[in-house]
A and B are shown apart, each in its own frame.
Chain A
Amino acid sequence: MILIITLYAASIVASLGLSFLFVSILLERSNSYGSQEESSPSMKRFKVMDVNQTKL
């Protein structure tokens, strides 16, 4: 029973979070302009010198 009640409560809490997320994304697209660019023309010659992947 506890698991079901928890599941139900969690779905309600998540619903609240999702509605804030949804409205925030809409707001950002509608009312917020400009974002920090991920790359810059100042960045030149990015090189990956070595990649080491080991399965432990």
Chain B
Amino acid sequence: MAKNCPGCGAPMEYDPSFDSLVCQSCGNIIDPKSLPDGNEFYLNYGAEEPVDIKDVVEEEELTGEMYDCHIYTCSQCGGEVIVSGTEVSTRCIYCGSTAVVFNRIAQECRPQYIVPFKVTKEEALKNVRDKLLSGFFVPSFFKKTEPSVVRGIYIPYYLYEGWYKDTQRFQAGETPYIYDCECDFEDLPVEACKVLADKTTAMLEPYYLNEKVDFDTSYLMGFYSNIRDLEPRVALGNANLKARAMFDKEVLKQVPKTSFLRPLKRVTSVPKSEFARSSYALLPAWFITINKDSTPYTFLVNGQTGKVVGTVPWNRFLIGAMITVSFATLAFLSTMIFVKSGLISDAFGWSTGISSKFGRKLSQSLDSSEIYASLGIGIAALGVLGAGFAKFKKVLDNLNLSRSIVTFIFSKKRQGDAK
């Protein structure tokens, strides 16, 4: 249902900068808390309960591949809209009204809390624009092109409460460190939506849930939202994994730093935990999509803090040139060191007039210590090479996340293709 302006009757949208509903036609501003609760509205409005698709189709139609969908009526123009069964609200594809669908929200999936958008669309765009403009390797296309799609979407989260404790044993050389720690968690957010990549939402955090408010459909005006479709059992597992990752990092901070030669290893861990779902909440995010060569790159902006998440493709020529130049420089420098110190001439018996005691010693007969030293040096060099490739792959993975079709579909589905 769209909440209409009591002054002119036009649909109103929630504006984060005013923390109020604003009429797009006459500019009237109304505090959402002053309006009747959406649930009450549903009870009045929902004389007709949502109809299960299985109840309205013929038996033979159910034998084919089905998908969950519902038919909604726009309260502004009366048009019927079909949306995904996981959809909570959508813009009417006929009149563009910000129609919010109550018959879905009012069921057991109605959230208890919502964190309203604090970052406006303009602020989100500015944050992304600032990041793109400051990037040295960002292609000029991204610096000049306006986003093709900007949508504010409420992402569903389960909130968990519980505790986690663990006795962890570390080993650095011969020195053991044993830590027995425990920690409480309150409002631990676990994303409850299957279609959005978990890694993406993890990077969007933190959300400060002390700012959450009781759910009111007024906050959905002008935004899109999705409801939970992740099984509670899976979500509980994710809550444990998330708590463990945070806990382990915190324990690691307590352990004294060790040298490169005595790397710290976690030897044993005896974790215990207990988590229970406390509530279900909607958290805000802006999805900003820029299309390049038919490939969508979606940046996410935390709707509460303004944190930007995403990776821009880079100028390949510039990156190739940078790698080549830095490799050539380092290789040249190391060659010069070997030549100047006389190591190479000693090794091959060249008479260059430059010689070193170290080189002569190294070029003497092969023994087992020389073989071990060679192996060690070779492994160390391969380690450095591996670290370089791993870091590069991490950046590539982040780029793939930004152009992830899953992220794109998530935002696209919520647009109803309306701009």
Contact = CB atoms under 8 A, between A and B. Distances in A.
B175 A53 contact: yes
Contacts of B387: 17, 21
A20 B389 CA distance: 6
Contacts of B338: 4, 7-8, 11
Interface stretch (B64-72, B84-92, B205-213): B205-213
Given A2-B366, A44-B185, A13 B384 contact: yes
A19 B347 contact: no
A24 B203 contact: no
Nearest to B338: A8
Contacts of B135: 30-31
B346 interface: yes
Interface size class of A (residues with CB under 8 A): 35 or more
A34 B384 CA distance: 26
B383 to A, nearest CB: 8
A10 B338 CA distance: 12
Contact of B343 (A2, A4, A15, A46): A4
B360 to A, nearest CB: 10
A22 B203 contact: no
A35 B183 contact: no
Nearest to B383: A17
Contacts of B388: 16-21, 24
A17 B314 CA distance: 20
Given A13-B384, A42-B185, A48 B314 contact: no
Given A15-B327, A38-B249, A56-B175, A4 B311 contact: no
Contact of B311 (A15, A32, A51): A32
Given A17-B386, A20-B392, A33-B311, A49 B186 contact: no
The residue among B207, B300, B310, B377 with the most chain A CB atoms within 10 A of its own CB is B377
B327 A45 contact: no
Contacts of A46: 181-183, 247, 250
Interface residues on B, range: 35 or more
A45 B162 CA distance: 12
Given A1-B348, A2-B374, A40-B205, A15 B395 contact: no
Contacts of A14: 330, 380-381, 384-385
Contact of B398 (A17, A25, A32, A39): A32
A10 B383 CA distance: 10
Interface string B161-204: 00001000000001111111111111111000000000100111
A27 B344 contact: no
A41 B331 contact: no
Nearest to A49: B180
A31 B312 contact: yes
A18 B330 contact: yes
Interface string B123-167: 000000001001111100000000000000000000000000100
Interface in B375-404: 377-378, 380-389, 391-392, 394-395, 398-399
A17 B389 contact: yes
Contacts of A5: 347
Contacts of A20: 323, 385, 388-389, 391-392
A43 B314 contact: no
A32 B399 CA distance: 8
B73 interface: no
Contacts of B362: 1, 3-4, 7
Nearest to B348: A1
B309 interface: yes
B254 interface: yes
Contacts of B348: 1
A48 B206 contact: no
Contacts of B118: none
A7 B377 contact: yes
Contact of A2 (B204, B300, B313, B370): B370
B182 A47 contact: yes
11 contacts: A2-B374, A4-B362, A12-B331, A19-B327, A19-B330, A30-B138, A40-B188, A42-B209, A43-B247, A47-B181, A52-B180
